[in-house]
Structure 1
Amino acid sequence: MLLQLQYLLLVLIPLLSLLFFFFFNSNSKIPKSYPLVGSFFALLANRDRLLPWLTGIIQDSPSNTFVLRQSFATGHVISGNPAVVQHILMTNFNNYGKGEDSRRTVYDLLGDGIFNVDGESWKFQRQIAMQEFNTKSLRKFVETVVQTEVSQRLIPTLTSAAEHGTVLDFQDILQRFTFDNICNIAFGFDPAYLLPSLPQTKLDLAFENGIKCSSERGNTLFPGVWKIKKLLNIGSEKRLKIAISEIRGFAMTIIKEKKQELREKESLDSVDLLSRLLNSGHLDENFVIDFVISFILAGRDTSSAALTWFFWVLSKNPEIESEILKEIKEKSEGPVYDEVKDMVYTHASLCESMRLYPPVALDAKEAVNDDVLPDGTVVKKGMKVSYFPYAMGRLEKLWGSDWAEFKPERWLQKEEENSESSWRFVGRDSYTYPVFQAGPRICLGKEMAFLQMKSVVAGVLRRFKVVPAFEQGVQEPEYDSFLSKMKGGFPVKIEERERDHLHSEN
């Protein structure tokens, strides 16, 4: 037996050395692919810097599309080409679904919620959700839910930190803020998570573990490992099981309270998303739980991640911060909803920040049938096809030679009106800038997200300066490849602005 092992090593070592030699001596950023193992060695070598590595490949590909060959010749098409994005998200939408592998990976967490299904179930949940995003609901969201959370919870928390010189994890603060908001507007339930005491709860840890462990399933180099760990109930799979139990218990509490409320009242003061779902006749408990969890995750993590990176980028660009402060002062005379809706420069700044740090870095679909993409890439049935917002925001072809600069002006045009100049927002099409997806699955909460983010920006900046407080030697925070968040959090100090910067909060 020992002799056989020695012979095997004698064969394998030269082969592995040869493969590594070819990989590291290639002038092209596009990884070499080999029989059986595909580009496994390239993936292994770059597993800790996956996004910059894949971005470099996209930048180096003539059509900004390439096929990553994984083990046993399976191919994964990854693209930053707007024509390809339009094809998979709109033109040939029905051919690109979630895929069974992707569904299984996050099924324990999301179940049959809106973000993990296709077909009729997706259409039904989307129709229910669409009723929540009309102008009346958006105005109510800003003028009641968001402003209450800003004035009664966020501002007091930051005021206390400024007075005591406390270092806060601003990413955590923003997650608490968005968590309270989504539960209030979608379910009529206030978890009161953003309080001055910053309570640490099992629920917070459950959401963090649930998202992290589910993401790791989908990004592992050895897909079979998580299934074995789940079977044995060990490691990350044991943590995931505990987390999901906590999350589903929380969702069930919300649902029970809403059912009780619906039984006791003939008519509600306001109708939220959960009320509509329960009144639609869908009383299957697991279905409603999946629906609730999906919306909590969407509302909690995307906007908070976008805001975290926005405040970081702003700290490096004081001249842009000054422009935003000027706009906040100019717009704060009218009603709150109109104020945030009309903050054009701030809107452009948020778009620019999400160009560089999108809340979803890469999104995968699966081909239902064989296809040929607009750039000529051949897609076989069952192949994964991903569009790549993180890389697309870094393409000179799309954004010019100054793509690496933070420039809100690239989204704006000057307009002359009554001898005064003002900015007009000029958006990019959703295939060049697919931060909110595109086509039939375009994000329903896009406008709500912008209103929420602008409300936070206005509320925070008119009173405070957010100053990064990383440990000495840390020059730039790390973008989490799986979660699009800031690895390790965003430590900051809060500084009160001079009185002449403040504007009435009344």
Structure 2
Amino acid sequence: MSIIELLASISLLVLSIFFYLTKNTRSRASSKSDPDLPKSYPLIGSSVAIFANRKRLIQWTSDLIRNSPSATVVLHRFLDDSRVVTGDPANVQHMLKTQFQNYEKGSKSRRDLFDFLGNGIFNIDGDSWKFQRQLSSHEFSTKSLRKFVETVVDTELSQRLIPILSAAAANNAVLDLQDILQRFAFDNICKIAFGYDPAYLLPGLPEAEFAKTFDEAAKISSGRLISAFPYLWKIKSFLNIGSEKRLKEASSQLREFAKNIIKEKKQQISKNSSLESDVDLLSRFLSSGHSDEDFVTDIVISFILAGRDTTSAALTWYFWLLSQNQEVEKEVLREIKEKSESPVYEEVKDMAYTHASLCESMRLYPPVPVDSKVAQRDDVLPDGTVVKKGMRVSYHPYAMGRLELLWGSDWEKFRPERWLESATTDGANKVGKWRFVGRDPYTYPVFQAGPRICLGKDMAFLQMKRVVAGILRRFKVAPVAEDGFEPVFVAYLTSKMKGGFPVRFEKRDD
């Protein structure tokens, strides 16, 4: 038994004894007044319940929110580390917009993710965040970057993804669609962010060292954030053992890799100072005068995290839901066939039903199921919840997508029509024609909201619609699972389908 396993065992034993000795101790008022909340005890709070549900924290906290009359709960953790978890849109708006300056990422979150994300845009606050946001916002708003993204996505789709799926269909082979989509997204975002092609989506499905290292760093960093007993990872970090040793090694490798690419880019730019329109984000940042290697590396690694894991997660669950809802699939396919083989940006934007079905999928299975901020001063949320300085406050998109108050009694149904209304032309209703009607970003904070709303939202939809159209036009996606099988939703920094998503591809008749 390793030293860390011994420490963990001792800690659990001590907690178990303490729990037994205090089982008749009066619970905190929050637990006593709400029987659905886990009991909270002196010193350890609800850490026993949190630890017991550690493998399904998203579902467990979602159930707590759904069972709470206010859609908000307060969880007491080890050493009185209290946290608010909410699904109330008014609270979300309060955090992300009205009192934006009071709710930051916080020093703990920055510390937990620093080895992986450094001072990237997703891990900082204040002036540094504002500067990176303005810089990134400028680049994301350019038509030239949008065109570059279209070109990258279409090339990866036509030259790599479709041929692999065609071969699988011809051979009746089973593929893990989650893995395929992650490879597709990883190639795309590396080209868009770095101008580097990892060639991760090839017929042999090779292992890419950079992708593997990135995965490991993301998973271990996520473990730090959700740890019921954070002192355990801090001990491992101090001793440089176990997962913490691997995180340091992985983060170092990622940064070394990125810096080598940056050096090559600088050399290319120095030889050709005229910047072409179809270039990656790294070239754009360097050409605009931002040449500090650490600064640029942090930004680009953050973009890879956002661009790779979120779209692949969204699409994995989307194809699962389509396979279980044939009428929705038929309507999506009808809309796709109305468009050209490779629809241009404006045509993709007009795919209202497909857009609605993607939004509906992410309502049920958001790529980022929970996000947290830290209060910089005492506050009171709109629902009356008292927030003390330094307290972590989390909003919960996964739970919010399951609230009857927000989505009605049929919230469990995958129903894109809840996002649509009938379109009207020349005063006459056209059957099958739809107009998309979005929800406010505080009821549906899948892309965050307020000043930190996702810069890549439009590009994410562009990529997802291109992939959906490219696959469904040619193939029917058939899960390899027994009737009644339900995949398990798991979350690290972003969500995944536990164990992958094995499917067969059935070629459609012309």
Question: How does the TM-score come out when normalised to structure 1?
Answer: 0.92
1:478 matches 2:484: no
Query: 2:391 is matched with which residue?
Result: 383
Q: Point out where structure 1 has 5 or more consecutive residues left out of the alignment.
A: 1-7, 500-506
Q: 1:9 to 1:118 in 2, by over 3 A?
A: closer
Alpha-carbon distance between aligned partners in 2 of 1:408 and 1:113, rounded to the nearest angstrom:
35
Alpha-carbon distance between aligned partners in 1 of 2:232 and 2:147, rounded to the nearest angstrom:
47
Q: 1:473 to 1:461 in 2, by over 3 A?
A: closer
Query: 1:300 is matched with which residue?
Result: 308
For 1:202, give the aligned amino acid.
E
Task: Quote how far apart the aligned CAs of 1:191 are.
Answer: 2.3
SS in 2 for 1:435: coil
Query: 1:395 is matched with which residue?
Result: 403
Task: Quote how far apart the aligned CAs of 1:274 are.
Answer: 1.5
Alpha-carbon distance between aligned partners in 2 of 1:48 and 1:10, rounded to the nearest angstrom:
19
Query: 2:362 is matched with which residue?
Result: 354
Decide whether the 8 Å contact of 1:205 with 1:243 is kept in 2. Answer: no
Q: 1:28 to 1:341 in 2, by over 3 A?
A: same
Q: 1:185 to 1:11 in 2, by over 3 A?
A: closer
SS in 2 for 1:166: coil
Task: Point out the more displaced range, 312-321 or 229-238.
Answer: 229-238
Q: 1:372 to 1:165 in 2, by over 3 A?
A: same
SS in 2 for 1:112: coil
Q: 1:463 to 1:13 in 2, by over 3 A?
A: closer
Decide whether the 8 Å contact of 1:202 with 1:246 is kept in 2. Answer: no
Q: 1:311 to 1:87 in 2, by over 3 A?
A: same
The percent of aligned pairs where both chains have the same amino acid is: 64
Task: Point out the more displaced range, 315-324 or 246-255.
Answer: 246-255
Query: 2:334 is matched with which residue?
Result: 326
1:103 matches 2:110: yes
SS in 2 for 1:179: helix
Quick one: which of 57, 65, 70 aligns to 2:77?
70
Query: 2:473 is matched with which residue?
Result: 462
Decide whether the 8 Å contact of 2:31 with 2:37 is kept in 1. Answer: no
Decide whether the 8 Å contact of 2:78 with 2:228 is kept in 1. Answer: no
Query: 2:424 is matched with which residue?
Result: 416
For 1:458, give the aligned amino acid.
A
Quick one: which of 44, 64, 75 aligns to 1:57?
64
For 1:475, give the aligned amino acid.
F
Task: Point out the more displaced range, 380-389 or 289-298.
Answer: 289-298
Task: Point out the more displaced range, 86-95 or 168-177.
Answer: 168-177
Task: Quote how far apart the aligned CAs of 1:477 are.
Answer: 1.1
Alpha-carbon distance between aligned partners in 2 of 1:428 and 1:335, rounded to the nearest angstrom:
26
Decide whether the 8 Å contact of 1:133 with 1:445 is kept in 2. Answer: yes
Decide whether the 8 Å contact of 2:71 with 2:87 is kept in 1. Answer: yes
For 1:310, give the aligned amino acid.
Y
Q: Point out where structure 2 has 5 or more consecutive residues left out of the alignment.
A: 1-13
Alpha-carbon distance between aligned partners in 1 of 2:423 and 2:208, rounded to the nearest angstrom:
50
Decide whether the 8 Å contact of 1:89 with 1:440 is kept in 2. Answer: yes
Alpha-carbon distance between aligned partners in 2 of 1:79 and 1:373, rounded to the nearest angstrom:
10
Query: 1:448 is matched with which residue?
Result: 459
For 1:70, give the aligned amino acid.
R
For 1:480, give the aligned amino acid.
V
Task: Point out the more displaced range, 49-58 or 383-392.
Answer: 49-58
Task: Quote how far apart the aligned CAs of 1:336 are.
Answer: 2.2
Decide whether the 8 Å contact of 1:372 with 1:378 is kept in 2. Answer: yes
Query: 1:145 is matched with which residue?
Result: 152
Decide whether the 8 Å contact of 1:393 with 1:433 is kept in 2. Answer: yes
Decide whether the 8 Å contact of 1:217 with 1:223 is kept in 2. Answer: yes
Decide whether the 8 Å contact of 2:490 with 2:498 is kept in 1. Answer: yes
Q: Write the mapping of 1:196-235 to structure 2, written as runs, cut at 5 A.
A: 196-235=203-242
Query: 1:365 is matched with which residue?
Result: 373
Task: Point out the more displaced range, 348-357 or 411-420.
Answer: 411-420
Task: Quote how far apart the aligned CAs of 1:246 are.
Answer: 2.4
Query: 1:176 is matched with which residue?
Result: 183
Quick one: which of 252, 260, 282 aligns to 2:267?
260
Query: 1:4 is matched with which residue?
Result: none
SS in 2 for 1:465: strand
CA offsets per residue over residues 285-320 of structure 1, 9 Å max, x none?
Answer: 212211111111111111110001101111101111
Task: Quote how far apart the aligned CAs of 1:18 are.
Answer: 4.3
Decide whether the 8 Å contact of 2:78 with 2:229 is kept in 1. Answer: no
Query: 2:162 is matched with which residue?
Result: 155
Query: 1:273 is matched with which residue?
Result: 281
SS in 2 for 1:480: strand
Query: 2:171 is matched with which residue?
Result: 164
Task: Quote how far apart the aligned CAs of 1:137 are.
Answer: 3.5
Alpha-carbon distance between aligned partners in 2 of 1:16 and 1:290, rounded to the nearest angstrom:
46
Alpha-carbon distance between aligned partners in 1 of 2:63 and 2:389, rounded to the nearest angstrom:
27
Alpha-carbon distance between aligned partners in 1 of 2:423 and 2:163, rounded to the nearest angstrom:
38
Task: Quote how far apart the aligned CAs of 1:32 are.
Answer: 2.2
Alpha-carbon distance between aligned partners in 1 of 2:138 and 2:342, rounded to the nearest angstrom:
27
For 2:73, give the aligned amino acid.
F
For 1:60, give the aligned amino acid.
N
Q: 1:142 to 1:34 in 2, by over 3 A?
A: same
Q: 1:315 to 1:13 in 2, by over 3 A?
A: closer
Alpha-carbon distance between aligned partners in 1 of 2:419 and 2:356, rounded to the nearest angstrom:
6
Q: Write the mapping of 1:104-143 to structure 2, written as runs, cut at 5 A.
A: 104-134=111-141, 136-137=143-144, 139-141=146-148, 143=150
Q: 1:228 to 1:162 in 2, by over 3 A?
A: same
CA offsets per residue over residues 436-458 of structure 1, 9 Å max, x none?
Answer: 00000000000000000000000
Query: 1:438 is matched with which residue?
Result: 449
Decide whether the 8 Å contact of 1:128 with 1:276 is kept in 2. Answer: no
Q: Write the mapping of 1:13-92 to structure 2, written as runs, cut at 5 A.
A: 14-15=20-21, 18=24, 28-92=35-99
Alpha-carbon distance between aligned partners in 2 of 1:14 and 1:310, rounded to the nearest angstrom:
45
For 2:169, give the aligned amino acid.
A
Alpha-carbon distance between aligned partners in 2 of 1:27 and 1:375, rounded to the nearest angstrom:
16
Decide whether the 8 Å contact of 1:106 with 1:214 is kept in 2. Answer: yes
SS in 1 for 2:282: helix
Decide whether the 8 Å contact of 2:36 with 2:67 is kept in 1. Answer: yes
Q: 1:251 to 1:334 in 2, by over 3 A?
A: closer
For 1:412, give the aligned amino acid.
L
CA offsets per residue over residues 4-62 of structure 1, 9 Å max, x none?
Answer: xxxx9998575255479999999832222222121122212222221221111101111
Query: 1:339 is matched with which residue?
Result: 347
Task: Point out the more displaced range, 246-255 or 206-215.
Answer: 246-255
Give RMSD over aligned pairs. 2.4
SS in 1 for 2:495: coil
Alpha-carbon distance between aligned partners in 1 of 2:187 and 2:418, rounded to the nearest angstrom:
33
Aligned positions, number? 491
SS in 1 for 2:394: strand
Q: 1:488 to 1:111 in 2, by over 3 A?
A: same
